[in-house]
Amino acid sequence: MKLRNNTHTNSASKFLSLRVNFVFSAAPVAATDIQTSPFLLQEVNRKIPRKFPRPKWSMNNQTETNYEMKRSAKEELKRYSGMLRECASKKTFVEGKAIHGNMIRSGLEPDSHLLVSLINFYVKCGSLVSARKVFDDMPEQDVVSWTALIAGCVSEGFGSDGASLYCEMRKENIMTNEFALATVLKACSMCLNIEFGKQVHVEAIKAGLLSDLFVGSTLVDLYAKCDEVELADSVFFDMPEKNDVSWNALLNGYAQKGDGKEVLKLFIQMTECGMHFSKFTLSIALKGCANSGNLQVGKILHSLAIRSGCELDEFLGCSLVDMYSKCGLAYDAFKVFSRIKDPDVVAWSAMITGLDQQGHSHEAAKVFHLMRCAGVKPNQFSLASVVSAATTMGELRFGQSIHSCVYKYGLESENSVGNALIMMYMKSGCVQDGVQVFERMTNQDLVSWNALLSGFYDLKNCHEGPRIFYQMLMKGLKPNMYTFIGVIRSCTSLLDVRFGRQTVLGACKLHGNVDLGERAAEKLFELEPSMDSSYILLSNIFAAKGRWDEVKKIRALMSTKGVKKEPGCSWIEVDGLVHVFTSHEGSHPKTREIYAILEELG
């Protein structure tokens, strides 16, 4: 496979004081218990003794007897806790459930420690419903049991539920601790709820727990993931102690932002502090180089990985492939990829995507074929990239075969795949096929609508372009440059020059392009000099830029030409009769009564 490289050139802010106001409502935890086989349950039960040996108590000394009984009960509690911890670590749900049943039958009174072990077991095995039932049946819940339940939601990916549970805990006046704070902050990171995370930050400050290593690290991670890198930076450098987790969290924030220079600067600081870096750290730093196109730093990190003896596994290899691909070095990316011993679907997808983005469409298709021959199941990213490659090559039949593969794996509703398929069919002139893919998608985004709009520009279908544009606006989506290009192409074919100009003028208002807006408005003034909306749009463009002299000129021009702004109106239907209300107009027969009631309402 011959490839050519395509190289292209390329202190902490103050934290505002916030008022703690926990407003989450407790959301029911959606989870299902794992179904167990009755035969397997019987087998596990046979392994657990039905009767535990009873201690031999002396009847002569009642104090000694009570002491022996208490000691025996404590030993039993420890025994059950130990077995449940083992089941939790091995995730042996059936055996743990049998232990729970045996514990109930034995009549042993569980203490809070054993109940927390039971909650932890169900949580680790993914049975949040059972964990919540154990929790609700506890005579008294403390911060440890609450934290165990919140951690369960986090481990199962229910970040919002974890945050909601924390609110329940605080409403019960249960005092928080460093473990509860770290866990709920992780929940906030998962659901990207920065506002609630800031409230928890304030609570950590008030509780004097901000200096805790785990609390600080999860705060850095939250702010970094929510693109608040300055806040993440502020928290990080105020931490009295740092570990590799906190360093990696901050590095990841700058990498997501595409700030390659800051990533390298932090990486150097990390090594100078004597902190050991891992393959994960190198991968984050390489991501920063890829996003910023910083090839020089990327090569330095690559050489550092080799010198430090890091094994080129699929994790580090994928990051290197992505970095070289995004920096235009497809050949170097393929060299790295070919050295990965057992590439997984992520590594294959990175290679296919890199080749497609660098214009090596045929090579991308070949690598996809090699991936299938290797028995690796494609994911949405590899499929989207190979569909894009088929579009570039103009190979509709090949693209249709990939569509069959997409349908087989049930990935047609994935946005990245669906958008690529819509674009392929639209560019191939198969408009109805593209529409069908669009309609099957469950959550169309702006890219989906733009891809759909791109197909309606010929004389046969161009009349649908403006209709699709209005439908998109009704969905509450904000159009971008590609949206306006699509609708203008439709209007050009439709010979609706006025609508096309209006669209351009609307786009200029949205993006603040004054020069283009003025030119579009001038043409509209010539086409329809009495249309008030053109004057108002241009006036609003000038106002947004603070050019008030131009605003006055537009208002004067409207007055000179006798153009009046159509007054705004609203209407309401009562008992089958529509009542219309126009601004600065009192023709409604019950105007006085309406105003009287409005005055009473204040």
Q: What is the DSSP string of 376-419?
A: PPP-HHHHHHHHHHHHHHT-HHHHHHHHHHHHHTT-TTSHHHHH
> Tokens representing 525?
């003034």
Helices (H), 192-243: 194-206, 213-225, 229-238
pLDDT computed for residue 30 by the predictor: 37
What percentage of the chain's residues is helix, strand, coil (to nearest 5)?
65, 0, 30
- For residue 388, pLDDT over 80 is answered with yes
pLDDT (mean) for 398-422? 91
pLDDT computed for residue 463 by the predictor: 67
pLDDT computed for residue 487 by the predictor: 74
Quote the distance between the C-alpha of residue 41 and its chain's center. 40
pLDDT (mean) for 353-378? 93
- For residue 86, pLDDT over 60 is answered with yes
Report which residue type is found at 22.
F
Cα separation, 218 vs 208, in Å, equals 16
Q: State pLDDT tens for residues 325-361.
A: 988 898 999 999 998 888 889 899 999 999 998 889 9
pLDDT computed for residue 15 by the predictor: 32
- For residue 114, pLDDT over 60 is answered with yes
* Total residues found in the chain within this entry: 602
Lowest mean pLDDT among 25-34, 196-205, 262-271, 555-564: 25-34
pLDDT computed for residue 244 by the predictor: 87
Cα separation, 260 vs 297, in Å, equals 8
- Kindly report, as residue ranges, where domains of CATH 1.25.40 are found in the chain: 242-342, 496-566
| Cβ(165)–Cβ(132) below 8 Å | no
Residues 6 or more apart in contact with residue 563 via CB below 8 angstroms: 529, 530, 531, 532, 535, 557
Tell me the pLDDT band of 524, cut-offs 50, 70 and 90: low
- Give Cα separations from 405 to 221, 425, 451 (angstroms): 37, 16, 21
Cα separation, 489 vs 467, in Å, equals 13
pTM for this model (two decimals): 0.59
pLDDT computed for residue 18 by the predictor: 35
pLDDT (mean) for 543-564? 77
Tell me the pLDDT band of 29, cut-offs 50, 70 and 90: very low
Tell me the pLDDT band of 475, cut-offs 50, 70 and 90: confident
> If we measure between CA atoms, which residue out of 39, 42, 65 comes closest to residue 54?
65
Average pLDDT, rounded, for the chain? 79
Tell me the pLDDT band of 55, cut-offs 50, 70 and 90: very low
Residues 6 or more apart in contact with residue 189 via CB below 8 angstroms: 159, 197, 218, 221, 222, 225, 226
pLDDT computed for residue 87 by the predictor: 85
> If we measure between CA atoms, which residue out of 186, 194, 139 comes closest to residue 166?
186
Residues 6 or more apart in contact with residue 255 via CB below 8 angstroms: 263, 284, 285, 287, 288, 291
- For residue 33, pLDDT over 70 is answered with no
pLDDT computed for residue 522 by the predictor: 73
pLDDT computed for residue 67 by the predictor: 47
Tell me the pLDDT band of 43, cut-offs 50, 70 and 90: very low
Residues 6 or more apart in contact with residue 252 via CB below 8 angstroms: 221, 224, 225, 284, 287
pLDDT computed for residue 361 by the predictor: 93
CB atoms within 10 A of CB 561: 12
> Tokens representing 121?
């077991």
- For residue 430, pLDDT over 70 is answered with yes
Report which residue type is found at 323.
M
Residue 276 φ/ψ region, left for φ over 0, alpha for ψ in the -120 to 50 degree band, beta for the rest = beta
Lowest mean pLDDT among 19-28, 89-98, 218-227, 520-529: 19-28
Tell me the pLDDT band of 576, cut-offs 50, 70 and 90: low
Q: How many CA atoms lie within 13 A of 210 on its CB side?
A: 17
pLDDT computed for residue 511 by the predictor: 65
Identity of the highest mean pLDDT range in 44-48, 406-410, 475-479: 406-410
- For residue 283, pLDDT over 50 is answered with yes
User: What is the share, in percent, of the chain residues with pLDDT greater than 90?
Assistant: 28
Identity of the highest mean pLDDT range in 173-182, 484-493, 518-527, 559-568: 173-182
CATH number of the domain located at residue range(s) 242-342 in this protein: 1.25.40
CATH number of this structure's domain 496-566, picked from the four choices 3.10.260, 3.30.70, 1.25.40, 1.20.1250: 1.25.40
- For residue 11, pLDDT over 60 is answered with no
> Tokens representing 502?
């209006």
